[in-house]
């Protein structure tokens, strides 16, 4: 049995939090500098909207591919090795982003960067979940997400600092992201591998077998539900917040909407929500009750957002903040996924699930665009929201409670 020697502010937790900080900085950087970077490449407003969505979707597909790749390798080769390799890939990817000259180049490099970014959160959450005792892991993973999500706020302030009125300077933001990744790599040196993984490293068990998730009906159901409960997060970030400028124009918002600022407000609030949700879960001794509370806050924030007709731009930013706070269940959602599966496939699940959710933004976008054929932009947005929230809630209802679950077990005993 693993010794319970790590606390919620121990080195593995702090390094995982800083790793997620860099991950979120890089992941959201395009959302924040989408408009100035694409303007500098010569695109008009319509192209910035359509090509911007295209690049985001390509990045999310990269996350989907990377989620499977790093998840499998995390269970086969170890949590730390995945963290090292993924950091190197997304760091080089961000540096390359600083040199793109066309939309196609932008999309290709964001795809590669997306593959790299896919490994950070799942491997970090898995490592922390396995190193800490069960009564502390919920708060610890919330700390990882809460601190990490402030990376988006940092990205916004760097955007404000470096981007000039002529839309130049955005490339520096990508170079900084690459540099932060390499600094993070040096910090990882002092972190130990999970003792749970080390205990099965040489055992004859099936490790990192992605197809194992589809070979058993009960296991497949758990996996699909683990993905679907996270759908509202990237609907909010990928549609409502990222395209707040477009929604603002359609709703006659008074004042110029800066989508980068909307992302900053949302993620500042998400970071608070993600820390708080761990304590809410601890108070109720339940992951699901905490999830329901934050679902309710998200739903209320969506109602507010879609009733901002003629409101001020500051009201839109406040609604963005409440939306962000409501979707601050990201840490609990990923922790729940990790807690539902054995050590020999846990990294595969914890890494693929959040990236499946990120990748699902492509499907949500397709629904959003399809609805615009029959409805106006805003109506299509809230119908999409109702569909996503309904799917998430039903999935949460049928998901098992994992608060008290011991994680030191195998999904299958033999190969």
What is the model's pLDDT at position 135? Answer: 74
Per-10-residue mean pLDDT for the chain, 415 residues long? 62 81 87 91 91 90 88 79 84 94 95 89 77 79 84 89 92 94 76 60 71 88 95 94 93 92 91 90 92 97 97 97 94 86 84 85 92 96 97 95 80 54
pLDDT in tens, 258-302: 988 998 899 889 989 988 998 899 899 999 999 999 999 999 999
* Residue whose pair of structure tokens reads 């900084």 in the numeric block: 176
What is the model's pLDDT at position 194? Answer: 55
pTM, full prediction = 0.79
Q: Which one is the CATH code of 11-397: 1.20.1250.20, 3.90.1150.200, 3.20.20.100, 1.10.150.120?
A: 1.20.1250.20
- For 4, 291, 354, 356, 366, the CA distances from 230, given in Å and listed in that order, are 30, 10, 8, 9, 18
Query: What does the block give as tokens for 136?
Result: 């502390």
Query: What does the block give as tokens for 344?
Result: 């020999």
What is the model's pLDDT at position 202? Answer: 64
Which DSSP letter does residue 192 get?
Answer: P
What is the model's pLDDT at position 2? Answer: 43
What is the model's pLDDT at position 415? Answer: 41
pLDDT in tens, 353-401: 988 888 888 899 999 999 999 999 999 999 999 999 999 999 999 999 9
The answer to whether 25 and 154 are in contact (CB under 8 A) is yes
What is the model's pLDDT at position 192? Answer: 57
Q: Domain residues of the chain, as ranges? A: 11-397
Secondary structure (DSSP) of 41-106: TT--HHHHHHHHHHHHHHHHHHHHHHHHHHHHHHHHH-HHHHHHHHHHHHHHHHHHHTT--SHHHH
Residue 380's contacts (CB-CB under 8 Å, 6 or more residues apart) are 368, 369, 371, 372, 374
């Amino acid at each position: 049995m693993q010794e319970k020697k790590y606390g919620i502010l121990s080195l593995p937790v702090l390094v995982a939090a800083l790793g997620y900080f860099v991950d979120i900085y890089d992941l959201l950087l395009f959302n924040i500098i989408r408009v100035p970077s694409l303007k500098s490449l010569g695109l008009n407003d319509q192209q910035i909207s359509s090509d911007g969505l295209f690049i985001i979707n390509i990045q999310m597909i990269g996350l989907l591919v990377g989620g499977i790749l790093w998840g499998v390798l995390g269970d086969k080769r170890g949590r730390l090795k995945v963290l090292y390799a993924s950091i190197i890939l997304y760091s080089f990817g961000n540096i390359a982003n600083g040199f793109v000259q066309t939309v196609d180049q932008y999309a290709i490099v964001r795809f590669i960067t997306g593959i790299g970014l896919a490994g950070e959160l799942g491997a970090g959450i898995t490592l922390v979940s396995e190193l800490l005792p069960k009564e502390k892991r919920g708060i610890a993973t919330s700390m990882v997400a809460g601190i990490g999500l402030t990376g988006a706020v940092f990205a916004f302030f760097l955007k404000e600092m470096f981007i000039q009125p002529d839309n130049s300077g955005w490339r520096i933001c990508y170079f900084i992201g690459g540099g932060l990744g390499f600094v993070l790599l040096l910090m990882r040196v002092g972190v130990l591998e999970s003792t749970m993984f080390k205990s099965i490293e040489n055992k004859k068990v099936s490790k990192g077998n992605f197809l194992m998730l589809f070979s058993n009906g009960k296991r497949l159901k758990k996996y699909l539900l683990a993905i679907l409960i996270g759908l509202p997060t990237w609907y909010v970030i990928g549609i409502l917040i990222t395209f707040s400028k477009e929604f603002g124009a359609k709703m006659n918002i008074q004042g110029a909407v800066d989508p980068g600022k909307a992302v900053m407000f949302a993620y500042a609030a998400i970071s608070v929500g993600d820390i708080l949700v761990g304590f809410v879960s601890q108070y109720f001794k339940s992951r699901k009750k905490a999830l329901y509370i934050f679902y309710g806050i998200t739903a209320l924030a969506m109602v507010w957002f879609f009733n901002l007709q003629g409101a001020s731009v500051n009201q839109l930013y406040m609604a963005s903040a409440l939306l962000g706070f409501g979707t601050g269940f990201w840490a609990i959602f990923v922790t729940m996924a990790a807690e539902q599966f054995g050590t020999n496939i846990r990294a595969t699940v914890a890494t693929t699930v959040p990236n499946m959710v990120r990748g699902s933004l492509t499907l949500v976008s397709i629904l959003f665009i399809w609805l615009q054929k029959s409805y106006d932009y805003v109506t299509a947005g809230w119908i999409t929201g109702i569909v996503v929230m309904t799917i998430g809630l039903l999935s949460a209802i049928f998901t098992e409670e994992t608060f008290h679950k011991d994680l030191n077990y195998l999904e299958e005993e033999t190969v």
